[in-house]
Amino acid sequence: MMKLSLLAPVACLAILNPAFAQSPAPVAPASALSAAETAAGWRTLLTDNAAPGFRGYKQPGFPAKGWTVTGGVLKSIKGGGGGDLVTSDEFGDFELVCEFRCSPKANSGIMYRVAETLDSAWQTGPEYQILEDATYGAKSTDMHSCGALYDLAPPVEGKTMKSIESGGWNEARIRLRNGIVQHYLNGVKVVECPVEGADWATRIAKSKFKDYKGFGVLPKGRLALQDHGGEVSYRNIKVRDLGAKSDGTIALWNGKDLAGWKAFVPDAEKAGVKPESVWSIEDGVLVCKGNPVGYIRTEKDHTNYVLRLQWRFSPVTKKAGNSGVLLRMIGEDKLWPRSVEAQLQSGSAGDFWNIENFVMTADPARTNGRNTKKMSKDVERPLGEWNEYEIVVDHGTITLMVNGEMLNQATKVEEVAGKICLQSEGAEIHFKNISLTPIK
């Protein structure tokens, strides 16, 4: 894996949060957020000496005992009796990252979509297991080991943890989006599981949670940190509500027509069609026929931003196809305008293509000519299902994230205001929920 530049306050693999790093580095103080993180919707739940984002479970305020906050570290005291903590806010789709450190045989957990209706947080909220596997004697792939979706899905093989002896902090990341939850441990995805539908219902029915009303079926709820009697420390807790718009977010496409966009289809006249006819709108979805080839582009220029969009290939034919998102497109309209392409070809989403020698630096180990391959991860949904792109264009750095996973990054990118383009490239492809948040 390439060595990536450190963009404060995030270490290594992403400007969005530290948990994307395969080789984690120290992160900045809990109160620090970069402009890119803020634009992406992140906020902190800890300050140096307080936890304003938390209160006690079924309590009006922070517990008077059992938990401490010092130097940006939130700690549950062994035998302290403080009870679980819950967030002041509720979340539906969300992403949370934090670092944790366990004492020997310590056991805890991070629950989500918790309701304060039963005796404990774990009785309604699914759990990211926090455990010191080595001293607890747990197998790394046990359904109750660290990173597991407790009693519902085990972690995959190959996870790594920093030992107590090393004094190291481990990184947890939870992402719940569009009915799928993902658990990461030290930058590696260890669980991916649906949280709705027949599969989810079967998992619950076979678990210890089957008799608890409301377990795992709430559309939103609080995040919780479990007090399980042992000493566990947390720091750098950051969260973002994936269902909320960040300040300044705009709908780049209005869901109704091509207002604000211009179509460029060089062979449209030869084919006897208008350039705009390649695109149509069906039930709030932008449908591109794929032929003739070309693109639509924004009429306005954009420089530094977080771009989000969803795409899928035809849910009827379920045929693989090709397309792309062109970033910082400058110069004249032509079939391959000067720009950086975030690839959308089936199986290659997350690749970079450099068009017309756009100034940028990418990992030489994954670069062949104008193409920089994504990091070796297969994260695309089955053909016909929706995928999500999050593209962060932050001054000299462009980061590509597909379905929540960081797949590529370019540095020393020419910082210039340019258009954003969606390609028509031979296959039917659909887009929706296209939004942009400027990075201030």
Q: What's the CA gap between 217 and 423, in Å, rounded?
A: 38
Q: What is the pLDDT of residue 242?
A: 96
For residue 211, what are the CA distances in angstroms to 112, 226, 397? 18, 20, 49
Q: What is the pLDDT of residue 31?
A: 53
Q: What is the pLDDT of residue 229?
A: 85
Tokens read off for 184: 């990461």
Q: How many CA atoms lie within 13 A of 353 on its CB side?
A: 18
Q: Are 224 and 57 in contact (CB under 8 A)?
A: yes
Q: What's the CA gap between 54 and 74, in Å, rounded?
A: 11
Percent of the chain with pLDDT over 90: 86
- Which residue(s) pair with 402 in the sheet? 389, 405
The strand pair at 67-70 and 371-372 is best described as unpaired
Determine how many CB atoms are found less than 10 A away from the CB of residue 212: 17
| 370-404 pLDDT tens trace | 999 999 888 999 999 999 999 999 999 999 999 99
**In which residue are the tokens 């270490």 written?**
11
Q: Are 326 and 419 in contact (CB under 8 A)?
A: yes
Interacting residues of 52 by C-beta distance below 8 A, sequence separation 6+ = 45, 88
For residue 175, what are the CA distances in angstroms to 152, 180, 403? 16, 8, 10
Mean pLDDT value of segment 268-287: 95
Q: Which of 14, 21, 41, 18 is nearest to 29 (CA)?
A: 18
Does the structure show a pLDDT above 60 at 173? yes
Does the structure show a pLDDT above 60 at 28? no
Does the structure show a pLDDT above 80 at 236? yes
Percent of the chain with pLDDT over 70: 93
In this structure, which amino acid lies at residue 416?
A: V
Q: What is the pLDDT of residue 350?
A: 98
Q: What is the pLDDT of residue 4?
A: 36
Burial annotation 184-209 (CB, 10 A radius, 16+ → b, else e): bbbbbbbbbbebeeeebeebbeebeb
- Which residue(s) pair with 104 in the sheet? none
Does the structure show a pLDDT above 80 at 2? no
Mean residue pLDDT across the chain: 92
Does the structure show a pLDDT above 90 at 5? no
Q: What's the CA gap between 207 and 199, in Å, rounded?
A: 13
For residue 362, what are the CA distances in angstroms to 25, 112, 257, 293? 21, 37, 36, 28
Q: What's the CA gap between 26 and 326, in Å, rounded?
A: 33
Q: What is the pLDDT of residue 100?
A: 96
Tokens read off for 124: 């309604």
- Single pTM value for the model: 0.89
**In which residue are the tokens 């062979």 written?**
267
Mean pLDDT value of segment 272-301: 96
Determine how many CB atoms are found less than 10 A away from the CB of residue 3: 9
> What would the 3-class secondary structure string for the chain be?
CCCCCCECCECCCCCCCHHHCCCCCCCCCCCCCCHHHHHCCCEECCCCCCCCCEEECCCCCCCCCCEEEECCEEEECCCCCCCCEEEEEEECCEEEEEEEEECCCCEEEEEEEECCCCCCHHHCCCEEEEECHHHHCCCCCCCCCCCCECCCECCCCCCCCCCCCCCCCEEEEEEEECCEEEEEECCEEEEEEECCHHHHHHHHHCCCCCCCCCCCCCCCEEEEECCCCCCEEEEEEEEEECCCCCCCCEECCCCCCCCCEEEECCCHHHHCCCHHHHEEEECCEEEECCCCCEEEEECCCECCEEEEEEEEECCCCCCCCCCEEEEEEECCCCCCCEEEEEECCCCCCCCEEEECCCCCECCHHHEECCEECCCCCCCCCCCCCCEEEEEEEECCEEEEEECCEEEEEEECCCCCCEEEEEEECCCCEEEEEEEEEECC
Q: Please, what are the domains in the chain?
A: 18-241 (2.60.120.560), 250-438 (2.60.120.560)
Mean pLDDT value of segment 206-231: 96
Q: What is the pLDDT of residue 129?
A: 98
Does the structure show a pLDDT above 80 at 365? yes
Does the structure show a pLDDT above 70 at 144? yes
Q: Are 306 and 436 in contact (CB under 8 A)?
A: yes
